[in-house]
Amino acid sequence: MAGDFTPVDGRVCVITGATSGIGRAAASELAALGATLVIVARDPARGAAARDEIVDETGNREVALEVADLRSQRQVRELAARLMAALPEIHVLVNNAGLTLSERRLTEDGVEETFAVNHLAPFLLTKYAWPHMKSAGWGRIINISSVHGLRASEFKSAYISAKHGIMGLTKTTALEGGPHGITVNAVCPAYVRTPLVDNQIDAQSATHGIPREEVIGSIMLKKAAIKKMIEPHEIGAAVLYLCSDAAGCMTGTDFTIDCGWTAC
């Protein structure tokens, strides 16, 4: 039975935004089960530290680092070219990198940063990884979306547009990948205890003049049936499941982990 859930031994897995939070947790899960792992980070020092920590924690030395700023379409394409040249195959792509607090800043391409990282980068990386997976007849693409890929909230137009777009990308590529053994799914969490969310808590606390605990309870968890923050390892476990043979018939889905937010 364990083999049904641990097919990543020897598989080549690429995960973006892997220095902290969800990406860091998912990277550790994959490495612990023997994946040949490539983590993508924007900051070289943080990326190197994360790589070394993952190796120390898991004993898996097949962990490589690629540095790229996914706000730049040029750097995304350069990253893809390096991956295609260096890797014989890509079996798993986890599009996790996120950016939530820069909605009014533009990239070098004239695109809002939030949209560039949360939508354009996954679109491009999927495009470039696709031929590898298609030729192998097996692939897993996991897009870390959000409950905001399913529901809207005020004052988050760029982020919500990007995450809704990811859901469309997930469903379309799932239809196209089915005949070639490629599954594509999106994980849609509510608020996860990550550095990005911690920054949001601080910003909301300052804006509303209320304590952090009140921000969490009265604003972030207001719509949730289970009044708790999700832990990164819970999303990492979902990623691991979607990589497995046990999830071989799951594709085009929104794997929702939202403490009941969308139940109503």
* Residues identified as active-site: 159
Nearest alpha carbon to residue 120 among 166, 164, 66, 80: 166
Residue type, 5: F
Q: Angle of helix 121-136 relative to helix 157-177, nearest 10 degrees?
A: 10
Three-state SS string over the chain comes to CHHHHCCCCCCEEEEECCCCHHHHHHHHHHHHCCCEEEEEECCHHHHHHHHHHHHHHHCCCCEEEEECCCCCHHHHHHHHHHHHHHCCCCCEEEECCCCCCCCCCECCCCCEHHHHHHHHHHHHHHHHHHHHHHHHCCEEEEEECCHHHCCCCCCCHHHHHHHHHHHHHHHHHHHHHHHHCEEEEEEEECCECCHHHHHHHHHHHHHHCCCHHHHHHHHHCCCCCCCCCECHHHHHHHHHHHHCHHHCCCCCCEEEECCCHHHC
Residue 94 near residue 142 (C-beta atoms within 8 A): yes
